[in-house]
């Protein structure tokens, strides 16, 4: 026996029909506007996040500078079995800050460096040891990752909101159908279900 195939009617909520209810039209508008806001809002939020990362990286580059420091002690020589060629260990270094005062702190320096060797460290505006600012490639990676994740998150929040509104409209639609079936069944004295 061949299976019957029902014709799929596209965009039925937008067409005039005696079966179309007000909640169907509202649902159509909610879905349409939800997708528009999810796409546009996601793109705008992603761009804003990317520019925020760029601004933070620019501020970091502006406030940090390289200074030459002197090792106060020998750098450790306890290396793991597999290390990259630029492996660094913690050692105490001394440098002169922007205010002319001598500072001492721990910094990451090349392994097996002898005491008295000059090394380059990064400092912040206060003259304290800081991490090196992000490179251009790292900034681009952070911008891309932050922008994409923020765009997906913002769009996802909007689409979850649309889904919740659709659930409410579905409940309303089912309640209307139930009320209509009750009205249809009871005057004739019989029940359909």
- pLDDT grade for 41, boundaries at 50, 70 and 90: very high
The beta strand positions in 55-131, using DSSP E, are 65-71, 88-96, 102-110, 118-123, 129-130
Q: Which residues contact 151 (CB under 8 A, 6 or more apart)?
A: 42, 43, 45, 46, 49
117 within 8 A of 71, measured Cβ to Cβ: yes
Statement: residue 7 has pLDDT above 80: no
**Domain with 142 in it:** 21-59+138-188
How do residues 112-165 score in pLDDT, each as one tens digit?
A: 778 888 888 888 888 888 888 999 999 999 999 999 999 999 999 999 999 999
The reply to whether 69 and 128 lie within a common domain is yes
What is the pTM (predicted TM-score) of this model?
0.69
The reply to whether 111 and 163 lie within a common domain is no
Q: How many domains does the chain have?
A: 2
Q: Which of 121, 95, 96, 117 is nearest to 108 (CA)?
A: 121
Q: Which of 132, 153, 172 is the last residue of a domain?
A: 132
The reply to whether 125 and 144 lie within a common domain is no
The reply to whether 70 and 128 lie within a common domain is yes
Evaluate whether residue 39 is within a structural domain: yes
The reply to whether 125 and 78 lie within a common domain is yes
DSSP lists the bridge partners of residue 94 as 70, 104
112 within 8 A of 77, measured Cβ to Cβ: yes
For residue 16, with 0-12 CB atoms within 10 Å meaning exposed, 13-18 middle and 19 or more buried, which class applies? exposed
Strand (E) or helix (H) holding 23: helix 22-63
How do residues 57-74 score in pLDDT, each as one tens digit?
A: 999 999 988 888 888 887
DSSP labels for 151-187? HHHHHHHHHHHHHHHHHHHHHHHHHHHHHHHHHHHGG
d(CA 123, CA 95): 10
Statement: residue 9 has pLDDT above 90: no
The reply to whether 147 and 180 lie within a common domain is yes
């Amino acid at each position: 026996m061949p299976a019957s195939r029902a014709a799929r009617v596209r965009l039925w909520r937008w067409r005039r029909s005696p079966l179309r209810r007000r909640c169907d039209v509202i649902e159509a508008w909610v879905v349409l506007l939800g997708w528009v806001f999810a796409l546009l809002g996601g793109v705008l939020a992603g761009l804003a996040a990317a520019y925020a990362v760029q601004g933070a990286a620019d501020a970091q580059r502006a406030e940090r500078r390289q200074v030459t420091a002197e090792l106060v002690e020998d750098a450790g020589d306890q290396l793991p079995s597999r290390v990259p060629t630029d492996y660094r260990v913690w050692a105490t270094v001394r440098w002169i800050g922007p205010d002319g005062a001598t500072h001492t702190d721990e910094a990451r320096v090349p392994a097996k460096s002898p005491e008295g060797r000059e090394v380059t460290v990064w400092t912040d505006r206060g003259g304290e040891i800081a991490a090196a600012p992000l490179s251009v490639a790292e900034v681009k990676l952070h911008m891309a990752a932050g922008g994409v994740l923020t765009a997906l998150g913002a769009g996802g929040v909007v689409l979850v909101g649309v889904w919740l509104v659709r659930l409410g409209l579905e409940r309303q639609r089912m309640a209307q159908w139930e009320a209509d079936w009750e009205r249809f069944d009871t005057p004739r004295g019989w029940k359909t279900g």
